[in-house]
């Protein structure tokens, strides 16, 4: 079964500036409000310690000891309460939402527990992958009933997590290696996106432009996070997004293991290997793990390069929204204005950028680096819980039959494979030029 293009969007009336109704009725804006609420609570130290799964070997109860129970209950009731308010204001039914949310939370908890098993953790099989697999297992065996899917708000959960992720993308980190990191993260990425879009639409002839674009962004920027942002900007189908998420996570596991080994075989130094890993492995968590497999220094460089690359999420989403509104979804007789572009633009990106700027230019000067590091630990813990819920929900919403239909003779896999191969080669060249003493000389320790 081949991929078919989504029907052309009908001409729409020019969007009006965001009104109070728009700000309260949009899931995108509610991701911002909930994310900012949690940022304020974290910065003012009003939140208790965020529970984190501890490594365990044979007894899974060691993952969340008794002292974790108050924190787990805080996450459960706090997240349920915040999202229930949003559901109610947006006109949904809290009664239908909460039972499904409780089950999604339970699945997210199990995924956290599995990800903390010492052997699985050693091999980099993180909670996100387990959440996706558990959700897929339920959806494709017994099936996910409607009441459960009512609480599986995958895109909303991950958008809230992305707003919180802005706290980790500090301007100081972007400037840490100056132009070195920008060459690897900001020059290679748009080249790879354009190459993959051309290859997917012209060579492979995949008819769905939105599917091609989401795969390109997931491959070149930062995996699932970029997939969500780009899918929102170009209005990709839900099943297309599910397919890309599944492919991205499976390829990420393979690259997390393979990239450090390949770097060692090639005899790369810590800086070049770290920059190469940071610019190619998709997930931030997998980047850190892969870098540290090579060396502690490579792990640090990989994390910084990935953070610089993550900052592109907002820019990429804006450009995609601009292109789709003006080129693909526009009426032949009328070009939409900036109001339509703003209406299409993913609003959670505003929260992501705002939180990054707030931490960089307000919190650090007020509180100092060390205090802000503690706040970021809290926001990161909160973000991980949102992502755990999101990946379980993505699995529940994914049907293998629909995903198989989207494969269109294996073309999306070919696109991902060829695009990632091109990304690996080009990023290696950029890492060698920027971090290999070619363009800028030795890096001062």
The CB density around residue 364, as the number of other CB atoms within 10 Å, is 18
Cα gap 104→348, rounded to integer Å: 22
pLDDT digits (tens, 9 = 90+) for 79-112: 999 999 999 999 999 999 999 999 999 999 999 9
Highest mean pLDDT among 109-118, 323-332, 339-348: 109-118
Contact indicator for 163, 351 with CB cutoff of 8 Å: yes
Beta bridge partners of 141: none
pLDDT of residue 279 exceeding 80, the answer is yes
pLDDT band for 287, please (50, 70, 90 cuts): confident
Contact indicator for 282, 223 with CB cutoff of 8 Å: yes
Tell me which residue has tokens 């320790």: 445
Q: What is the pLDDT of residue 94?
A: 96
Nearest to 435 by CA among 263, 267, 184: 184
pLDDT digits (tens, 9 = 90+) for 384-406: 999 899 889 888 887 777 666 66
Task: State pTM to two decimals.
Answer: 0.75
Buried b (16+ CB within 10 A) or exposed e, 38-74: bbeebbeeebeebbbbeebeeeeebbbeeebeebbee
Q: What is the pLDDT of residue 4?
A: 36
SS3 content of the chain, % helix, strand, coil (to 5): 75, 0, 25
What average pLDDT does range 219-225 have in this prediction?
84
State the greatest distance between any 2 C-alpha atoms of the chain, in Å, as a whole number: 66
Q: Which stretch of 131-140, 148-157, 325-334 has the lowest confidence by average pLDDT?
A: 325-334
pLDDT band for 1, please (50, 70, 90 cuts): very low
pLDDT of residue 7 exceeding 60, the answer is no
Q: Which stretch of 7-11, 68-72, 125-129, 162-166 has the lowest confidence by average pLDDT?
A: 7-11
Residues recorded for the chain: 445
pLDDT band for 5, please (50, 70, 90 cuts): very low
pLDDT band for 221, please (50, 70, 90 cuts): confident
Cα gap 145→249, rounded to integer Å: 25
pLDDT of residue 228 exceeding 70, the answer is yes
Domain boundaries defined on the chain: 20-435
Whole-number average pLDDT of the chain:
85
pLDDT digits (tens, 9 = 90+) for 33-86: 999 999 999 999 888 789 999 999 999 999 999 999 999 999 999 999 999 999
Cα gap 147→124, rounded to integer Å: 33
Backbone phi and psi for residue 339, each to the nearest 5 degrees, phi listed first = -60, -40
Q: What is the pLDDT of residue 361?
A: 94
Q: What is the pLDDT of residue 277?
A: 94
Burial of 85 (0-12, 13-18, 19+ CB in 10 A): middle
Q: What is the pLDDT of residue 307?
A: 78
pLDDT band for 273, please (50, 70, 90 cuts): very high
Q: What is the pLDDT of residue 42?
A: 95
- Helices 188-198 and 411-435 pack at an angle, to 10 degrees, of 160
What average pLDDT does range 306-331 have in this prediction?
82
What average pLDDT does range 140-158 have in this prediction?
90
What average pLDDT does range 376-390 have in this prediction?
92
Q: What is the chain's alpha carbon radius of gyration, rounded to the nearest angstrom?
A: 21
Nearest to 62 by CA among 129, 116, 127, 138: 116
Report the percentage of the chain scoring pLDDT > 90: 46
Q: What is the pLDDT of residue 30?
A: 95
pLDDT band for 11, please (50, 70, 90 cuts): very low
């Amino acid at each position: 079964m081949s991929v078919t293009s989504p029907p052309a969007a009908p001409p729409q009336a020019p969007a009006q500036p965001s009104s109070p109704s728009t700000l309260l009725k949009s899931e995108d804006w509610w991701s911002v409000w909930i994310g900012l609420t949690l940022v304020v609570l974290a910065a003012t130290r009003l939140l208790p310690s965020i529970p984190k799964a501890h490594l365990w070997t044979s007894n899974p109860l060691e993952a969340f000891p008794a002292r974790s129970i108050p924190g787990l209950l805080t996450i459960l009731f706090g997240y349920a309460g915040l999202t229930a308010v949003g559901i109610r204001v947006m006109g949904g039914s809290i009664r239908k939402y909460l039972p499904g949310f409780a089950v999604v939370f339970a699945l997210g908890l199990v995924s956290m527990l599995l990800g903390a098993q010492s052997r699985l953790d050693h091999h980099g099989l993180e909670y996100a992958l387990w959440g996706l697999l558990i959700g897929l297992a339920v959806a494709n065996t017994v099936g996910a009933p409607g009441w459960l899917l009512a609480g599986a708000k995958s895109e909303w959960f991950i958008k809230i997590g992305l707003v919180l992720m802005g706290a980790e993308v500090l301007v100081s980190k972007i400037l840490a290696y100056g132009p070195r990191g920008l060459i690897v993260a900001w020059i290679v990425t748009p080249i790879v996106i354009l190459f993959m879009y051309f290859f997917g639409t012209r060579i492979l002839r995949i008819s769905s432009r939105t599917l091609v674009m989401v795969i390109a962004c997931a491959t070149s920027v930062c995996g699932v996070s970029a997939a969500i942002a780009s899918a929102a900007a170009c209005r990709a189908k839900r099943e297309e997004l599910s397919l890309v998420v599944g492919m991205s996570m499976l390829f990420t596991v393979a690259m997390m293991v393979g990239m450090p080994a390949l770097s060692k075989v090639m005899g790369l130094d810590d800086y070049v290997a770290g920059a190469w890993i940071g610019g190619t492995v998709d997930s931030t968590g997998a980047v850190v793990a892969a870098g540290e497999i090579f060396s502690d220094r490579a792990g640090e460089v990989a994390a910084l390069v990935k953070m610089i690359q993550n900052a592109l999420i907002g820019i990429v989403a804006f450009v995609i929204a601009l292109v789709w509104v003006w080129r693909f979804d526009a009426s032949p007789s009328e070009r939409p204005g900036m109001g339509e572009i703003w209406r299409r633009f993913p609003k959670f990106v505003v929260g992501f950028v705002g939180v990054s700027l707030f931490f960089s230019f307000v919190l650090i000067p007020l509180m100092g680096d060390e205090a802000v590091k503690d706040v970021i630990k809290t926001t990161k813990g909160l973000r991980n819980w949102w992502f755990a819920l999101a990946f379980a929900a993505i699995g529940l919403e994914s049907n293998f039959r629909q995903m198989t239909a989207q494969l269109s003779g294996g073309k999306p896999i070919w696109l991902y494979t060829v695009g990632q191969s091109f990304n690996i080669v080009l990023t290696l060249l950029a890492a060698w030029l920027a971090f290999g003493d070619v363009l800028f000389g030795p890096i001062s320790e």
